[in-house]
Amino acid sequence: MLARKAADVVPATQDPTSPVNPIAGSVRENSRSHAARTAPRSDVSIQGEDAPALAVVAGIAASPDVATHATTNDTNLDPRTIRLSSSLLIRALKRFRLVESFGLRCRVNRLTAWRCPVAEIEVEPIAGLLGAVVKGLDPSRVDAGVAASLSQALSDHHVLFVPGLDPTLVGLRDLGAALGELDTHPFLSPVDPAIPEVIALDSSDTPKADVWHTDATFKQHPPVAALLHMVDCPPFGGDTMWINCHAVYESLSPAMQDFLLSLSCIHDDGGQGSHTAEHPVVRRHPQTGHAALYVHKQFSRRIPQLSRPESQALLTFLFRWQEQVKFSCRWRWSPGDVALWDERVTLHAVVDDTDDRRVLRRATVIGDDPAAFAPERVGDHYVTSKTASSGFYGTGRYEF
């Protein structure tokens, strides 16, 4: 089973010769002390043959030509060096996953690591396989260092809880934006139309999300991460639970793990709209490279490499297997709490044990195409004549 590392400390400074990693934050585990330090702000530079492309990806320049041209104005610099102010670095960091997935070759100078603000957050696990409480987070100071620290903590723990943070709408939006570009929701309304990224979830008019799921997998680009801010909740009941889908996959036999690599699954939104998407059954986390089972009861419908009864039997097994309590953590909410989680490698569900009102705000980080753990292994769809008489489900006809 894939257990979390007990203590992961991201150094505040990076080896200047290391590959691209401008991470400036630091994460302290299980420690009582915390501090936020601010080093002097400064320009930073990114060097390398793909630096102009990085500037484009980071939204700093419109095209590689423009970026290259911009840098050549400074005669002291290598023509392929881009100088960024600290605020531009923050934008670059937000897109950093994109940069990695493009496979760009460039190096962010050491200067970047120690001249941008450094934030130290404290992280305390709350369960064996996922979930940690974050302390020392100041919502008004979510800079590049904090964003990097949170990303690291999210990679390690998959779901983070910040008790009593109680951010404003803008604060929640900015905390979410530190993790990536924010989306709007296909069905749910924003709290304030001026801030469309933050939607309202009120149990008085929103169905309870009490089926294990991860959000919007019926979309081609399902969310990467989500944030919830509890505004009002009963004193007990209505907890939310999360499941570690890495651990679920790792718990299966090697033969089953191997078989699942060859499968995809069709997801749909159950008739709310016409959304449908096909994703790998086992996806690779783009940062950690670990495998996670990527099906769930709410939107995963059909495995097209199998006949319908085979698909139904396998999905039924996987849904039951993944919903075991041992893979989960549980959060008992108080007003003001914030939870943020990696949607790619977790499931979540509300415990439906109260009818008391729960009022939440939510922000969602846009996703990309879920990558298969072993793309070369995913098989073709199984095509066969539509129907066959069978005793498989008793008498009558069943579509094979």
Ligand X SMILES: O=C(O)CCC(=O)C(=O)O
- 274, two tokens: 């016409």
Write down the least CB distance from residue 184 to Fe ion, Å: 15
Q: Is residue 286 within 8 Å of residue 345, measured between CB atoms? A: no
Positions in the binding site for Fe ion (CB under 5 A) = 209, 215
* Closer by beta carbon to Fe ion, 283 or else 362: 362
Write down the least CB distance from residue 328 to ligand X, Å: 14
| Interface mask toward ligand X for 297-336; x: CB under 6 A | ----------------------------------------
Write down the least CB distance from residue 347 to Fe ion, Å: 9
Burial of 30 (0-12, 13-18, 19+ CB in 10 A): exposed
159 closest CA partner among 348, 21, 359:
348
Catalytic, out of 50, 156, 183, 215: 215
Kindly state whether residue 215 participates in binding ligand X, applying the rule CB under 6 A: yes
Size of residue set near ligand X by CB under 6 A: 10
Query: Which of 162, 228, 277, 340 is close enough to bind ligand X by CB under 6 A?
Result: 228
| 158 in active site | no
DSSP SS3 for 139: helix
Query: Which of 350, 363, 365, 372 is close enough to bind ligand X by CB under 6 A?
Result: 350
Catalytic, out of 285, 348, 358, 361: 348
Kindly state whether residue 365 participates in binding ligand X, applying the rule CB under 6 A: no
| 221 in active site | no
Cα distances (angstroms) measured from residue 280 to each of 35, 115, 372, 400? 42, 41, 5, 22
| 215 in active site | yes
Catalytic, out of 158, 246, 267, 362: 362
DSSP 291-359: EEE---TTTEEE-TTS-HHHHHHHHHHHHHHHT-GGGEEEE---TT-EEEEETTSEEEEE-----S--E
Query: Which of 14, 240, 298, 311 is close enough to bind ligand X by CB under 6 A?
Result: 240
Query: Which of 94, 229, 283, 362 is close enough to bind ligand X by CB under 6 A?
Result: 362
Residue 119 DSSP one-character state: E
| Residue 350: contacted member of Fe ion, ligand X, none (CB under 5 to 8 Å, by partner type) | ligand X
Kindly state whether residue 348 participates in binding ligand X, applying the rule CB under 6 A: yes
Strand partners, 183: 364
* Closer by beta carbon to ligand X, 20 or else 360: 360
| Residue 322: contacted member of ligand X, Fe ion, none (CB under 5 to 8 Å, by partner type) | none
Residue 95 DSSP one-character state: T
Write down the least CB distance from residue 244 to Fe ion, Å: 16
393 closest CA partner among 308, 329, 328, 319:
308
| Residue 240: contacted member of Fe ion, ligand X, none (CB under 5 to 8 Å, by partner type) | ligand X
* Closer by beta carbon to Fe ion, 294 or else 373: 294
Residue 73 DSSP one-character state: T
Query: Which of 132, 360, 365, 372 is close enough to bind ligand X by CB under 6 A?
Result: 360
Which parts of 174-213 interact with ligand X (CB under 6 A)?
201, 209
| 213 in active site | yes
Distance CA 394, CA 294 (A): 32
Cα distances (angstroms) measured from residue 334 to each of 207, 214, 231, 338, 358? 21, 23, 8, 9, 10
Strand-by-strand arrangement of the 300-302 sheet: 276-280, 264-268, 300-302
| Helices of type H across 95-236 | 96-102, 110-115, 144-157, 169-177
Catalytic, out of 83, 213, 275, 308: 213
Q: Could you give the residue numbers annotated as active site?
A: 213, 215, 348, 362
Contacts with ligand X by CB under 6 A lie at: 201, 209, 215, 226, 228, 240, 348, 350, 360, 362
